[in-house]
Amino acid sequence: MGTQLEIPPSIFEKIVNAKVAAAMTGAGVSAESGVPTFRGENGLWRNRRPEELASMEGFLDDPRLVWDWYDWRRTTIAEINPNDGHYALAEMETVYDEFTLITQNVDGLHALAGSRDPVEMHGNIWHTRCMKEGTIMENREAPLKRIPPLCPNCNTMVRPHIIWFGEELDTDVLKRAGEAARSSEVFFVVGTSSVVQPAASLAGLAQRNNSLVVEVNLERTPITDSVDLFLQGPSGVVLPDLLRMICRARGFDV
């Protein structure tokens, strides 16, 4: 069952013997579940680029349009299940003594697949924030009953509690992600075009701290030439195969 990935023995040994590992994922890990990626061929929405829609400027210019986009994504995601790549990453929490899952995705699929405490660098599409009070709420309506949605406490418009382009990431989130990258012996970079900062810098940070960086992607990216191992293929196939190989090498009958 599954394919035997081509991995140089010295690299495979490090992957198997590591105690502390981390993974950083992007939209590609959810692609096989049916969640559209950002920069793939269907990376536009009503002829607008994500960078325009996922920004405070875009939101203030047309809150209804931006909420229509999020409502469309939320309603799509509400029907979607995690795929085998999400489940393999959740399994890695039992394979390594310490494993941190960092994601750029806001779809919540890692938690649904069993990842216990994902570091959601860009927030979560099911969370909203009152534009007046700053109150953070969970709203699972799909579709939304009202667009734009209002704060139940003060009736002010709420925004998605998501980090938009040009907005700073939460300092605690950044700290957790940075610590996980620095302390990892193996750092997996899965399904991301590695263009969005500061998430895209985590692989380099890990490598500068002697971590082995393993990239899993359908195609080459700006970091492929500098990683220690590039596994080309769909994460929903490659990650379960890799997990099986690690478990077998550790003597488990899988």
Tell me the catalytic residues. Answer: 122
> Binding to ligand BV8 by residue 124, rule CB under 6 A?
no
Stretch that binds ligand BV8, among 101-109, 145-153, 176-184, 245-253 (CB under 6 A): 101-109
Residue type, 60: L
> Which of 172, 219, 212 lies closest to 195 in space, CA to CA?
219
d(CA 136, CA 110): 21
Beta bridge partners, 162, equal 123
**Measured between alpha carbons, how far is 152 from 137 in angstroms, rounded to an integer?**
10
The correct pick among 115, 124, 128, 192 for binding ligand BV8 (CB under 6 A) is: 192
Closest approach, Cβ 45 to ligand BV8, in A, equals 10
Cβ at position 75, least distance to ligand BV8 in Å: 14
Site string for ligand BV8, 48-67 (x = CB under 6 A): ---x--x-------------
What dihedral angle (degrees, nearest 10) is formed by the CA atoms of 168, 171, 173, 175? Answer: 130
Stretch of 1-9, 30-38, 60-68, 129-137 contacting ligand BV8, by CB under 6 A:
30-38
Which residue number, 2 or 198, has a Cβ lying nearer to ligand BV8? 198
Q: Quick check: 223 binds ligand BV8 (CB under 6 A)?
A: no
Pick between residue 12 and residue 165 the one whose CB is nearest to ligand BV8.
Answer: 165
Tokens 């996922």 sit at which residue? 54
The residue with its CB nearest to ligand BV8 is 28
Q: Nearer to ligand BV8 by C-beta: 20 or 169? A: 169
Task: Give the closest residue to 28 by CA, choosing from 120, 109, 125, 98.
Answer: 109
Distance (Å) of CA 155 to CA 66, 143, 146, 152, 187? 19, 19, 12, 6, 44
Q: Restricting to residues 130-159, which ones interact with ligand BV8 according to CB under 6 A? A: none
Question: Is 168 one of the binding residues for ligand BV8 (CB under 6 A)?
Answer: yes
Is residue 87 involved in binding ligand BV8 (CB under 6 A)? no
E strand intervals along the chain:
20-25, 98-103, 119-120, 123-130, 136-138, 158-162, 186-190, 212-217, 229-232
Rounded distance, CA 59 to CA 56, Å? 5
Decide if residue 28 touches ligand BV8 (CB under 6 A): yes
Instruction: Point out which residues bind ligand BV8 (CB under 6 A).
Output: 26-28, 31-32, 37-40, 51, 54, 104-106, 122, 162-168, 191-193, 195-198, 216-219, 221, 234-236
